[in-house]
Amino acid sequence: MIAMELQKWILCFTFIVFHFAGLCAETQDSDLDLADGGDIQNELGASFPPLESPPVHFATENNTVVTAQTGSTALLPCVINNIGDGTVSWIRRKDYYQLLTVGLTTYSSDDRFQTIHLQHSEDWTLQIKFVQQRDAGMYECQVSSHPSTSIFVQLNVVEARADIEGPSEKYLKPGSGLRLQCTVLQSTEPPAYVFWYHNNRMINYDVDRGINVTTELSEKSSTLTITNAATRHSGNYSCFPSNAQGASTYVHILNGENPAAMQHGGRGLSWLQCSPSSWLLIAFSLIVLMC
């Protein structure tokens, strides 16, 4: 009995082993068939075109205009999308073709020119330090793609200057109030400070002399006020912003003088206001000359 049972188990085990061996063989044949089929498809010429890179695109608008004042730093923008392996160059287009920068390397002998670019950014800004009037003109931002493509940026340079409102000479009576307003014109940025001078003395903090200065840097404006003007307040007043040419005006405290005579420096028709004795002396001199 035991022998028969053992023989049954051996036969079952043998059957299971051969069954699984057959399944593995069929799986391998199926894989080979699929592989052969793939080769056949490839041999039939099934191919896929390579992925094309998107074209270079300038996010900065062509013919952008940038205005900078003399002495400041000008930033000419050039934002480029999909640059790929292209190289960015900045070129000055004036009366001649001048290569300024290639990549981050400056080729110009003028080291005021430099390309500003952060790694992985799309911004290739041209920086010009200490701008001068001769820097005004057209600049080209070019990408060395195939074919090369570019945009143009126009740089305008202005001369910032201060202006004191009103005539260049002002006339006041003693005890009157004086108000001088200095405004910075043609400035692309506010000044860091505005200094006021009376003749050669800086007076921004001369409160004890009756002078008060209020400056609004964001408004590019500064105001000097004197509540009770005296003869000591006569003289030349000048305002000097940090980033602009200064302006000046002359203040006269009359103290009884004739403004018309002062405007002509004491000359003009003021000689007509002579005393009777002076007139007699003048007449006698004329008679002597005529004889």
The tens digit of pLDDT for each residue in 163-207 reads 999 999 999 999 999 999 999 999 999 999 999 999 999 999 999
Q: Residue 15: CA atoms inside 13 Å, Cβ hemisphere, count?
A: 6
The tens digit of pLDDT for each residue in 277-288 reads 554 556 556 565
The tens digit of pLDDT for each residue in 118-158 reads 998 999 999 999 999 999 999 999 999 878 899 999 999 99
pLDDT (0 to 100) of residue 260: 55
DSSP state of 135: G
pLDDT (0 to 100) of residue 145: 82
pLDDT (0 to 100) of residue 109: 94
pLDDT (0 to 100) of residue 20: 45
The tens digit of pLDDT for each residue in 66-106 reads 999 999 999 999 999 999 889 999 999 887 889 999 999 99
214: confidence class by pLDDT, cuts 50, 70, 90: very high
pLDDT (0 to 100) of residue 23: 42
Give the total residue count for the chain. Answer: 291
Whether the per-residue pLDDT at 40 is higher than 90: the answer is no
First to last CA, the chain: 184
Confirm if 181 and 215 have CB atoms less than 8 A apart. no
Average of per-residue pLDDT values in the chain? 81
Q: Residue 267: CA atoms inside 13 Å, Cβ hemisphere, count?
A: 2
CB-based burial label for 225 (10 Å; 0-12, 13-18, 19+): middle
Residue 273 has φ and ψ, to the nearest 5°, of -90, 50
